[in-house]
């Protein structure tokens, strides 16, 4: 999970939101707590064990998972997404779309105040969009979604906000439902990035009281909260008085905390603890498989040796990905080749052959490409040059948990069998993030995933527009007109059959061209103590929602 991959909510079916069974790890106490523990109890304070500390609390800046998870607690968005992909009112009470699909008019809820007293109105919403697109905000996710489509916006009157697009964007509303597009106070944003990173101000059920770097974000209940989304379990202020959002990077420690007294709710226990988790009657597991691009290795098509499609294909066929994922993740995750996860709508399920483990085919491809000589270490050479690729990953254990490092080493060993030298290079976190926007940084980028509410994330991942307008999202640096055309069609299409046709086209091309070695789907797995009720996972980004949570006695 790196900072640049915002998760996209899914448009899929209800069953996907609360995944009850993920082949082999289901059963037991999964699912939302359904025990009738009586009416919600007001009061109480909980500790949430997060796996990573955000770099900035303002999710408009940058745009990574730790940011969106915590921002959901203190920011509201314009709309909220439902598991089936439709959206319901939130800060926008209603909206209309112009017939050409280029103008969206939102009615903004009145009587809502930001935590600093500023009233919520259309002007405030416009200020948010301006700030997102302002280079000083250094946004990656928000600009990635908006730049190809956004034209302008304005406040028609205090209750009416109008947004104009350059070209139709069928995924706009689900995109806006993410906490990445949470609405912040203009007065607070005016302080500048440094101030706003430290203590952003929203309208949400919790208020950022303090960010203790390296330790936690302290959140207090907002007693005046009156802007819950239409799909919340209740309206009105949160039940909990206080949430201590602690950063517990070490997976074993995090799990130990929720087993003991250290935490009430934690994010992603390590796979090693699965057995202990299942057998503990005091713990409840909720899982959500993100939609979007599965976590894997993005192959840089602009650098040797991955400029050659045959080499990329050989890399994928020789990676032994399926067995490696199963071994390293101890069966908790299944291998998913991509380019979309199993829970993403419009996934083309017939592409597995392009990604299957086939060393014979890999060898064949490399031989045909001229890599017939071998050097002393057994690696292939051609014209004196070794078949080698450097794969970088973040040395921060929050970004690259030990299990991922094991997985990379397993793949490295498999590639050695076909004569491919994969050099693993851990680099410091900030250098790793910087590598996303640098075409020459690396041959292969590990930890490449993209959580998104919409399969139209393929535009961010593989379109020329994305590479040019918001570099850093197109991680394989792909510019392929054959892909650009159908992607534009999907954005403009409203007929599901038509969309499916183009989605299939795009995915087929991505698979054929072997841009990405998919490994496993990004998953949010929340482990809570039994006494903490009504925590749920929202479907746009898998954000845990604490507004409805309460502590049973």
Partner 1 sequence: MTINVADGLTAAAAPPVVRSRSGRAVRPAVWLSGLFLLLVLAWAVIPTTFTSGTPFDTDIDAAVHAPSLQHWFGTDASGRDIYTRVVFGARSSLLIGVGATALALVTAIVFGFAAGLGGRFTDGLISRFLEVLLALPGLLLALVFIAVLGPGVSTDIVAVALGSAAGYAWMVRGQVIAVKDSGYVSAATALGHKRSRIIVRHVFPNAMRPLVVLATMGVGQSIVWSSSLSFLGLGVAPPAPEWGAMLDAGRDFVSTAWWLELFPGLAIVGCTLSVTVLGRHLQRRLEGRLT
Partner 2 sequence: MTARRVVSRLAGVVGVLWGAATLTFAVEQLMPTDPAQTILGGAGAKPTPEQLVAVRAQYGFDKPVIVQYFDYLGGLLRGDLGTSYVRKQPVSDIIGQQLGSTLTLTIVALIASWLIAVAVTLLTAHRSRGLAALGSGLETLLAALPQYWLGIVLLVVFAFTLHWLPVVGDGGPEGLVLPTLTLALPLAGFLGQVTRDEFSSAMEQPFAVSARARGMSDLGVRWRHALRHAVLPGLTLSGWALGSLFSTAVIVEAVFVRPGLGRVLVDAVKSQDMPVVVGVTLFVAAVYVLANLLVNLAFGRIDPRLRSTTR
Applying CB under 8 A, the span of 242-250, 456-464, 488-496, 541-549 interacting with partner 2 comes to 242-250
Question: What CA–CA distances, in Å, run from 39 to 36, 239, 254, 341?
Answer: 8, 11, 30, 37
- The reply on whether position 442 binds partner 1 by CB under 8 A is no
Q: Which is nearer to partner 2, 121 or 264 (CB)?
A: 264
Which residues, including other chains, have CB under 8 Å from residue 65's CB and lie 6 or more apart? Answer: 1, 3, 5, 6, 7, 52, 451, 541
Q: Which is nearer to partner 2, 62 or 524 (CB)?
A: 62
Sheet holding 160-165, edge to edge: 92-97, 103-108, 160-165, 150-157
Tell me the per-residue interface mask from 250 to 289 with partner 1, x by CB under 8 A, - otherwise.
xxx-----------------x-xx-xx-------------
Is residue 202 within 8 A of residue 182, CB to CB? The reply is yes
Question: How far apart are CB 402 and partner 1 at their closest, in Å?
Answer: 5
Q: How many residues does the chain have?
A: 553
Question: How far apart are CB 390 and partner 1 at their closest, in Å?
Answer: 11
Is residue 43 within 8 A of residue 105, CB to CB? The reply is no
Residues in the interface with partner 2 (CB under 8 A) total: 43
Is residue 278 within 8 A of residue 332, CB to CB? The reply is no
Question: How far apart are CB 475 and partner 2 at their closest, in Å?
Answer: 12
Tell me the per-residue interface mask from 321 to 360 with partner 1, x by CB under 8 A, - otherwise.
--xx--xx-x------------------------------
| DSSP code at position 136 | G
Tell me the per-residue interface mask from 15 to 54 with partner 2, x by CB under 8 A, - otherwise.
--------------------------------x-x-----
DSSP conformation letters of 420-488:
-EEEEEEE-HHHHHHHHT-TTS-SEEEEEEEEBSSTTHHHHHH-HHHHHHSTTS-TT----HHHHHHHH
Question: How far apart are CB 206 and partner 2 at their closest, in Å?
Answer: 20
Of residues 432-491, which lie at the interface with partner 2 (CB under 8 A)? 433-434, 436-438, 471-472
Which residues, including other chains, have CB under 8 Å from residue 514's CB and lie 6 or more apart? Answer: 299, 309, 312, 313, 315, 316, 354
Question: How far apart are CB 256 and partner 2 at their closest, in Å?
Answer: 3
Figure out which of the listed residues 138, 334, 381, 489 binds partner 2, where binding follows CB under 8 A. Answer: 138
Applying CB under 8 A, the span of 86-94, 163-171, 210-218, 372-380 interacting with partner 2 comes to 210-218
- The reply on whether position 248 binds partner 2 by CB under 8 A is yes
Question: How far apart are CB 535 and partner 2 at their closest, in Å?
Answer: 20
Of residues 399-418, which lie at the interface with partner 1 (CB under 8 A)? 401-403, 405-406, 408-410, 412-414
Q: Is the peptide bond before 305 cis (omega within 30 degrees of 0)?
A: yes
Question: What CA–CA distances, in Å, run from 29 to 36, 287, 289?
Answer: 15, 11, 17
Q: Which is nearer to partner 1, 206 or 255 (CB)?
A: 255
Question: How far apart are CB 48 and partner 2 at their closest, in Å?
Answer: 13
Query: Sign of the CA dihedral 396, 400, 402, 405?
Result: negative
Of residues 109-168, which lie at the interface with partner 1 (CB under 8 A)? none
Is residue 52 within 8 A of residue 65, CB to CB? The reply is yes
d(CA 136, CA 132) in angstroms, rounded, equals 9
Q: Which residues bind partner 1 (CB under 8 A)?
A: 250-252, 270, 272-273, 275-276, 320, 323-324, 327-328, 330, 395, 397, 401-403, 405-406, 408-410, 412-414, 424-426
Residue ranges that bind partner 2, judged by CB under 8 A = 3-4, 47, 49, 55-56, 61-62, 64, 138, 140, 194, 197, 212-215, 248-250, 252-254, 256-257, 259-263, 395-396, 428-431, 433-434, 436-438, 471-472
């Amino acid at each position: 999970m790196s900072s640049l991959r915002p998760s996209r909510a899914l448009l899929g079916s209800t069953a996907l939101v609360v995944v009850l069974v993920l082949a082999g790890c289901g059963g037991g106490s999964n699912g939302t707590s359904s025990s009738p523990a009586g009416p919600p109890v007001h009061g109480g304070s909980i500790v949430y064990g997060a796996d990573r500390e955000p770099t900035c609390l303002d999710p408009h800046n940058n745009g990574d998972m730790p940011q969106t998870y915590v921002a959901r607690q203190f920011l509201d968005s314009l709309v909220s997404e439902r598991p089936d992909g439709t959206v319901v009112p939130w800060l926008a009470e209603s909206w209309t779309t112009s017939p050409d699909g280029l103008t969206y008019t939102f009615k903004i809820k009145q009587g809502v105040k930001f935590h600093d007293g500023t009233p919520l109105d259309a002007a405030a919403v416009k200020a948010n969009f301006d700030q997102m697109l302002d280079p000083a905000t250094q946004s990656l996710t928000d600009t990635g979604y908006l730049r190809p489509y956004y034209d302008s916006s304005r406040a028609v009157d205090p209750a009416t906000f109008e947004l104009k697009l350059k070209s139709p964007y069928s995924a706009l509303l689900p995109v806006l439902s993410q906490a990445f597009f949470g609405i912040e106070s203009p007065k607070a944003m005016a302080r500048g990035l440094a101030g706003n990173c430290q203590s952003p101000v929203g309208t949400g059920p919790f208020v950022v009281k303090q960010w203790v770097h390296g330790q936690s974000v302290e959140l207090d209940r907002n007693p005046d909260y009156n802007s819950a989304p239409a799909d919340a379990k209740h309206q009105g202020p949160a039940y909990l008085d206080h949430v201590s959002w602690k950063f517990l990077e070490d997976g074993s420690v995090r799990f130990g905390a929720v087993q003991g007294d250290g935490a009430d709710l934690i994010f992603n226990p390590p796979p090693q603890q699965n057995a202990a988790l299942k057998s503990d009657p005091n713990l409840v597991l909720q899982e959500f498989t993100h939609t979007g691009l599965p976590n894997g290795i993005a192959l840089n098509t602009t650098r040797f040796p991955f400029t050659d499609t045959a080499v990329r294909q050989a890399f994928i066929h020789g990676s032994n990905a399926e067995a490696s994922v199963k071994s390293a993740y101890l069966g908790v995750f299944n291998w998913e080749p991509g380019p979309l996860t199993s829970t993403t709508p419009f996934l083309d399920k017939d592409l597995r052959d392009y990604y299957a483990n086939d060393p014979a085919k890999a060898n064949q491809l490399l031989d045909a490409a001229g890599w017939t000589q071998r050097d002393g270490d057994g690696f292939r050479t051609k014209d004196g040059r070794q078949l080698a690729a450097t794969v970088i990953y973040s040395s921060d254990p929050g970004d690259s948990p030990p299990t991922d490092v094991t997985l990379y080493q397993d793949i490295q060993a498999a590639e050695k069998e076909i004569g491919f030298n994969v050099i693993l290079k851990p680099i410091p976190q900030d250098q790793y993030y910087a590598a996303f926007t640098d075409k020459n940084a690396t041959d292969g980028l590990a930890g490449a995933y993209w959580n998104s509410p919409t399969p139209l994330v393929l535009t961010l991942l593989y379109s020329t527009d994305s590479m040019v307008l918001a570099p850093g999202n197109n991680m394989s640096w792909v510019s392929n007109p054959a892909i650009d055309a159908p992607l534009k069609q999907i954005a403009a299409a409203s007929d599901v059959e038509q969309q499916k046709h183009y989605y299939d086209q795009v995915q087929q091309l991505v698979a054929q061209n072997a841009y990405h070695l998919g490994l496993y789907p990004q998953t949010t797995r929340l482990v809570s103590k039994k006494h903490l009720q009504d925590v749920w996972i929202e479907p746009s980004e898998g954000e845990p929602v604490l507004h409805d949570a309460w502590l049973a006695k």
